[in-house]
Structure 1
Amino acid sequence: MVKLFETVSFRSLELKNRIVVSPMGMYSAENGEVTPFHLVHYGKFAMGGAGLVIVEQTSVSRLGRITNGDPGLWHDGQIDGMRQVAHVIKANGAAAGIQINHGGRKSGQQRAFRGNGPLTDRDLAMGEEAWTPSGPSALRFADGYAEPIPLSDDGLVGIRDAFVATARRAVLAGFDLVELHMAHGYLLQSFLSPLANVRTDAHGGSRENRMRFPLEVTRAVRAAIPAGMPLFVRISATDWIDGGWEIEDSVVFARALKALGVDLVDCSTGGNLRVGSTNANLARGPGYQVPFADQIRREAGIATGAVGMIRTPDLAERILQDGKADLIFLARQMLYDPFWAHHAAEHFGLTGNFEAWPEQYGWWLAKWGHALRANREDLHGFDPRRGDEER
């Protein structure tokens, strides 16, 4: 059996395979509204055979955007645009998920493809909006970033309620699944990490206190969405910085998430800093984050998603066969090859004449299939069926 192409269910949602397109920030929304780019961007992944496509970090408030290009669901007028995105994904055979987020002290940045980091005079001259970010404490993310305004108790309630309202709008837009973004140094993860949270109230200090607000948001969102709708949470399993959040913390946190009705922990890492620090412990390589998904799955007893330079079908399949994760999340590899899932099925001999492809494509490809396979190296620069995991 090829586990990568087994169906898997979370609550009332059945996925046709275990291949997930990770949420990837495209920073291409306008005033929080999705554009035609998003329809094409997400539709091609669904057409490419993935079982689940998750829409990029969608802001719960205007001032919670990471950049001016983040999509949002902070008001009802944004539902129709997102409904079109969800429809395009589902109409092309995949389940539609959405990741919801507040950027916290990393909000108000420059769009990544314009250089990332703090907004410049050039960005402001182009019409980008600037604002002061908020966070758990008055600690800047890195040199050059604005000092965030520490959130009051009333501010925390407002953000919790914004997550709830956004999740409800996601349901109205037709999404099958919601993922809470608690990774990469954004607001909810910054409450977890001692690198960003030095509060002395009930939301700071001990690990239990630092977990309090993210768990409050989780509890509220779980109660707000239908019982049959899965709730995923993306975490940074470690900060990769001494004195920061560690895998042992993530195991404890994952147990608490499971108790609140979370169905899967999406195990990323990193993305958080403090002024003067670097991710000195980080060493990237194929599957470098898989051990975190494995440990959380075993020790917290919750389903996990594996991410991190998983490029080949063989590596993805081995992770699943070894019981290290339940889903495989792909990001850059999907940008490079949106039809990765179909290529993987062919690699394992599950299809042979392009029958799994959209029928509008399949008959064309079947007609020239032998020539395509013979010249795959020339056409694509690499053969996705190879076992070269260092590629």
Structure 2
Amino acid sequence: MVSMLFSPFTVRGVEMKNRIMMAPMGTVAAANDGTVNDWHLLHYGARALGQVGLIMLEATAVTEQGRDLYGNLGLWNDEQETGMKRLVNHLHQIGAKVGIQLWHAGRKRKIEGAAATASPGTVMGQPSLGITEWQIAEVVDAFLASTVRAMHAGFDVIEIHAAHGYFINDFLSPLTNKREDKYGGTRERRYRLLHEIIEAIRSVWQGPLFVKVSVDEYSAIGNKLEDHMYFAQRMKEQGVDLIDCSSGGVLPIKPKVYPGYQVPFAEAIRRESGVATAAVGLITTGMQAEEILQNGRADLVAVGRALLRDPFWPRTAAEQLGITIEEPGPYKSYWFPSGSMSHEN
């Protein structure tokens, strides 16, 4: 068979050797100052060796105050940039493309101190302080500065984290955005912060730009698919290349989960907006990933926990599909049973 899962995917001249993306998963393994350490070289390096096409690093804070926990990665100073460059070079040498997910925790910040976010009062029992327009401008500038550092570090892809009840999501969501200025109220106004961040990033970054969103907030008054159809069209106009479709996280509401439970969000946004999408959510087998791609439901498959359990998940998926893929040089002729499968990609 000809596998779509193992076909290349190219965005703005950046070619990923297959359509497997390592989903960003917080490990809280950084040093207290947010810098990369040897653990990250091993953790991400193993998945690059396993032949993941695009490794998306975990949420990386754009400011010191924007962290959730002390073990979060950061990209707001020179030392962090140097560590990131070392990690990116390491992963490139193994053959993977590398993305970074830029992020601000907002009200979900667990480190002592007030979190800056969009709405007054409390949300999920956490302090939620309205911030001034000049403070918002500082956050936009921080995303811009971290983008420049990501460029210097050699990243191939930048993803903006606008999901799961973090800073940007709190502006997008009517559940948390109670502002009465130009950043609150209508969908257009709630989108303004994300618009400004995309505009700032695009002023310096010409490479692939992804945005992660919570398509359904699982509340009668929260954002739903129709809201994100509007947001997707705005992102398309601004030059966003791919929407990473997740859900939930604004309120402590647990959806019913099952294999591929979030894939319909990626399918609908891709079909209606014409923007490429990544599908995520309990995607665990090669056959499942292949079906998503063959049926045009997404352009990339983001694999999370399955890759934590099996760093060589691409090899496992290929075997499930009855094909072989290129092996890392040192593993040549050892990965697959000799002669049991044809060499097709």
Shared fold by TM > 0.5? yes
For residues 329 and 322 of structure 2, the distance between their equivalents in structure 1, rounded to whole angstroms, comes to 19
Partner amino acid, structure 1, of 2:136: L
Q: Secondary structure at the match of 1:235?
A: strand
- The residue number in structure 2 matching 1:382 is none
Distance 2:171 2:103 in 1: 13
The amino acid that maps onto 1:212 is R
User: Contact 2:48/2:96 (CA < 8 Å) preserved in 1?
Assistant: yes
Contact kept? 1:139, 1:196, Cα under 8 Å: no
Q: Which residue of 2 aligns with 1:265?
A: 243
Alignment TM-score, normalising by the size of structure 1: 0.84
Q: Does 1:301 align with 2:274?
A: yes
The one-letter code matched in structure 2 to 1:221 is I
Task: Tell me, yes or no, if the aligned pair for 1:79 and 1:170 is still in contact at 8 Å.
Answer: yes
Tell me the equivalent position of 2:63: 61
2:161 aligned with 1:181, yes or no? yes
Q: In structure 1, what is the Cα distance between the partners aligned to 2:274 and 2:333?
A: 44
Aligned 8 A contact 2:119 2:170 in 1: no
Q: Which amino acid aligns with 2:288?
A: L
Of 226, 229, 234, the residue aligned with 1:256 is 234
TM-score (norm 2): 0.94
- % same residue: 42
- 1:106–1:141 contact (8 Å) kept in structure 2: no
Residues 1:10 and 2:8 aligned together? no
**Counterpart of 1:100?**
102
Unaligned runs of 5+ residues in structure 1 are 110-128, 374-391
Q: Tell me, in whole angstroms, the C-alpha distance in 2 between the residues paired with 1:92 and 1:194.
A: 44
In 2: Cα distance, 1:342 partner to 1:357 partner: 9
**SS in structure 1 of the partner of residue 34 of structure 2:** coil
Aligned pair 1:165/2:167, yes or no? no
1:361 equivalent to 2:310? Answer no
Alignment correspondent of 1:134:
116
1:195 Cα deviation from its structure 2 partner: 1.2
Is 1:342–1:356's contact at 8 Å kept on the other side of the alignment? no
Please tell me whether residue 81 in structure 1 is matched to residue 83 in structure 2.
yes
What is the Cα deviation at residue 364 of structure 1? Answer: 5.0
User: 2:123 aligns to what SS in structure 1?
Assistant: coil
Once residues 135 and 200 of structure 1 are traced to their aligned partners in structure 2, the CA distance between those partners, rounded to angstroms, is: 14
| Runs of 4+ residues over 6 Å off in structure 1 | none
Correspondence 1:336 to 2:309: yes
**TM-superposed deviation, 1:361:** 2.8
Deviates further, 262-271 or 27-36: 27-36
What is the total number of aligned residue pairs between the two structures?
337
- Residue by residue, what CA displacement relative to the aligned partner does 1:79-110 show, whole Å, maximum 9, x if unpaired? 11001111121111110111000001111x2x
Residue 327 of structure 2 contacts residue 335 of structure 2 at CA under 8 Å; is this kept in 1? no
How big is the shift at 1:350? 2.6
Deviation string 1:295-343 (CA, Å, 9 cap, x unpaired) is 1001111000000001111111001111110000000010011101112
Matches within 5 A, 1:319-334: 319-334=292-307
| Separation of aligned partners in 1, 2:204 and 2:166 | 22
**Distance of 1:77 and 1:36 partners within structure 2:** 15
Distance (whole Å) between structure 1 residues aligned to residue 240 and residue 262 of structure 2: 21
Query: Separation in 1 of the partners of 2:286 and 2:203?
Result: 37
User: What residue number does 2:214 align with?
Assistant: 236
How does 1:265-284 map onto structure 2 within 5 Å? 265-273=243-251, 278-279=252-253, 282-284=255-257
Aligned partners of 2:298 and 2:87: how far apart in 1? 28
8 Å CA contact 2:285, 2:320 repeated in 1: no
Query: What is the CA distance between 1:363 and its match in structure 2?
Result: 4.8
C-alpha separation in 2, matches of 1:262 and 1:235 = 13
Counterpart pick for 2:198 among 215, 218, 223: 218
Find the aligned partners of 1:327 and 1:70 in 2 and give their Cα distance.
Answer: 26
Tell me which residue corresponds to 1:287.
260
Q: CA RMSD in A?
A: 1.5
User: Are the counterparts in 2 of residues 51 and 94 from structure 1 also a CA contact under 8 Å?
Assistant: yes
Alignment partner, residue 379 of structure 1: none
Match of 1:207 in 2: 187
